[in-house]
Amino acid sequence: MNIDEINFSGYMYPLFEKLAEWVGLSDNAAPVLQVLCLEKYGQDRTLSSDEICEATRYSRSNTSLLLSQLEEIGLVKTQRDFSQTGRGRKKFRYSLSGDAEGIFAIGFKKVLDCCSSLSTMINLIERNNDTNAEFSKIISDLKRVINKNKSMLKSLPALQLIE
């Protein structure tokens, strides 16, 4: 697919909004993620930030911010564009770092991290004996459910990709 022909108002766009949300980003990241995914599953070539800006109609600064966020969570890989020489800023090319399973792995990791954070909070509450009888019941139940789900999440094949 030619990136100039991407439809950001069609049926595919809501899917990429949900994928962006799944990995913990705002829906503003959806067009960049969509361009990179379609390129990965199409011609599988890297794109310059100018190409991504042109396809998404985003400004350079917004595109750069979103690419940085996608790179930070491990969805995008960056490589130096040595074909661009001369003065000025270094040029880079971007591509999706994995595939659909990698996108899901990052989302599952986000959920696992949230469960771990909840466990830490519960442990802190228990250590400080900051509960009454009724509250102790919910803390105990939350702890059980969180630990059960952490075990289940850790066993997911997708998470083995990013550990």
> Chain-centre distance of CA 159, in angstroms?
13
DSSP reduced 3-state for 107: helix
Residue whose structure tokens are 């049926």 = 11
- Please state the pTM of the whole predicted model: 0.79
pLDDT in tens, 76-119: 999 887 776 666 667 899 999 988 888 989 999 999 999 999 99
CB 102 within 8 A of CB 74: yes
129: left (phi over 0), alpha (psi -120 to 50) or beta: left
CB neighbours of residue 104 within 10 Å: 19
* pLDDT score, position 1: 47
